[in-house]
């Protein structure tokens, strides 16, 4: 079991398998990566095995866009020891790969979808691939990669679509499939600070209409069950509960250990194997501390 100096038990691994992407989203932060490159399947297996031995239960495959890797199915198979394998994708390649992803062992999926409006989608992502993403959502539903979460980064250009997005997500819900809308606070930079919207003003509305509220262990995220569907809010800024209850650790696409998306510290594992990786992970976790990021940090 991995426990950091603040008593937080780590249970989730988030591993980036590439920093390449076919979209150019205006808000992209590349999972906080400062470098780049791609480790091969064998190295992914070796590093993830060390985390498994240390008690982590769940792994999420991220990018960049993970489905750009031609060996993505081999990567999923290499992670089969985890209790749950999930993935975050932009959805543009999902329609043709959803069933094989399920067959290889992927349990569930998060799909980035900020808008249902083609013009807004092109503005946010720099592409005209909205219909491919919508086909990908339907394929994920049919393949039962559930619970499926639709990741919507809240921006001034799309905050008026939350109700429509929730209805869209809810339209797929049935007995054996759950689709949840996940509204995510923008982590801004100098170029995107003007697009920032306070998540609280949107969350308040759904808090008032909810007939049930579930508070997740990770980050104490609030999930509201309403007559219109299930909606969850991810608020990393000015939120001490978010950091105080973080139970995940990251691996960059080139195999470095990253303690927090807001931290510049990336600890290399190059040339290490077996017990050496385990030692580096244990030493890294000793450096882990909450970083209560504030919106003001990004305004300066």
Q: What is the DSSP string of 216-273?
A: -TGGG-EEEEETTEEEEEE--SS-HHHHHT--EEEE-TTS-EES-TT---EE--TT--
Nearest to 199 by CA among 165, 169, 232, 227: 232
Q: What is the pLDDT of residue 36?
A: 76
Max CA-CA distance within the chain? Answer: 54
Which of 49-53, 117-121, 186-190, 222-226 is predicted least confidently? 186-190
* Residue 99, pLDDT above cutoff 70: yes
pLDDT exceeds 80 at position 292: no
CA torsion through residues 258, 261, 263, 264, sign: positive
pLDDT digits (tens, 9 = 90+) for 211-247: 999 998 778 889 999 999 999 999 988 888 888 888 9
Q: What is the dihedral of CA 155, 160, 161, 166, to 10 degrees?
A: 100
pLDDT of residue 207: 95
Average pLDDT over residues 115-141: 98
Segment 66-95, tens digit of pLDDT: 999 999 999 999 999 999 999 999 999 999
Q: What per-residue confidence (pLDDT) applies to 300?
A: 60
DSSP 8-state secondary structure symbol assigned to residue 71 = T
C-alpha triplet 197, 162, 130: angle, nearest 5°: 100
Q: Which of 293, 286, 240, 285 is nearest to 262 (CA)?
A: 293
CB atoms within 10 A of CB 184: 18
Specify whether the CB–CB gap between 98 and 136 falls below 8 A: yes
What is the residue-averaged pLDDT of the chain?
Answer: 94
pLDDT at 55: 96
Q: Tell which wins on pLDDT, 167 or 274.
A: 167
Strands 266-267 and 257-258, how do they pair? antiparallel
Domain ranges in the chain?
Answer: 2-299
What would the 3-class secondary structure string for 101-161 be? HHHHCCCEEEEECCCCCHHHHHHHHCCCCHHHHHHHHHHHHHHCCCCEEEEEECCCCCHHH
Residue 163 pLDDT > 90: yes
* Tens digits of residue pLDDT in 245-284: 889 999 999 999 999 888 888 999 999 998 999 999 999 9
Extract the tokens encoding 296.
């003001």
Please return the burial class of 43, using the count of CB atoms within 10 Å of its CB with bins 0-12, 13-18 and 19+. Answer: middle
Who wins on pLDDT, 35 or 163?
A: 163
**What was the pLDDT predicted at 121?**
98
pTM of the predicted model as reported, rounded to 2 decimal places: 0.95
What architecture (CATH level 2) is domain 2-299? Alpha-Beta Barrel (3.20)
Per DSSP, the three-state class of 169 is helix
What is the percentage of the chain residues whose pLDDT exceeds 90? 82
Is the separation of the CB atoms in 139 and 132 below 8 Å?
no
């Amino acid at each position: 079991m991995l426990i950091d100096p603040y008593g937080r038990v780590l249970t989730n691994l988030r591993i980036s398998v590439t920093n390449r992407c076919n979209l150019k989203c205006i808000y992209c932060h590349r999972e906080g990566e400062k470098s780049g490159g791609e480790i091969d399947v064998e190295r992914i297996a070796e590093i993830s095995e060390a985390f498994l031995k240390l008690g982590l239960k769940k792994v999420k495959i991220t990018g960049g866009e993970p489905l750009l890797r031609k060996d993505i199915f081999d990567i999923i198979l290499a992670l089969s020891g985890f209790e749950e394998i999930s993935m975050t994708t932009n959805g543009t390649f999902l329609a043709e790969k959803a069933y094989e992803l399920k067959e290889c062992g992927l349990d569930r999926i998060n799909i980035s979808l900020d808008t249902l409006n083609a013009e807004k989608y092109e503005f946010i992502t720099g592409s005209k691939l909205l219909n491919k993403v919508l086909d990908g959502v339907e394929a994920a539903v049919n393949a039962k990669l559930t619970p499926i979460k639709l990741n919507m980064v809240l921006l001034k250009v799309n905050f008026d679509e939350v109700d429509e997005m929730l209805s869209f997500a809810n339209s797929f819900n049935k007995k054996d499939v759950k689709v949840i809308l996940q509204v995510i606070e923008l982590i801004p930079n100098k170029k995107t600070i003007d697009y920032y919207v306070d998540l609280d003003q949107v969350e308040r509305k759904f808090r008032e209409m909810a007939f049930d509220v579930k508070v997740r262990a990770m980050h104490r995220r609030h999930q509201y069950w309403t007559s219109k569907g299930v909606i969850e809010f991810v608020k990393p800024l000015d939120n001490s509960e978010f950091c105080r209850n973080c139970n995940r650790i990251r691996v960059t696409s080139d195999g470095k250990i990253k303690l927090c998306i807001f931290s510049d510290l990336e600890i290399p594992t190059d040339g290490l194997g077996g017990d050496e990786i385990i030692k580096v992970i244990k030493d890294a976790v000793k450096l882990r501390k909450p970083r209560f990021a504030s919106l003001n940090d990004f305004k300066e």
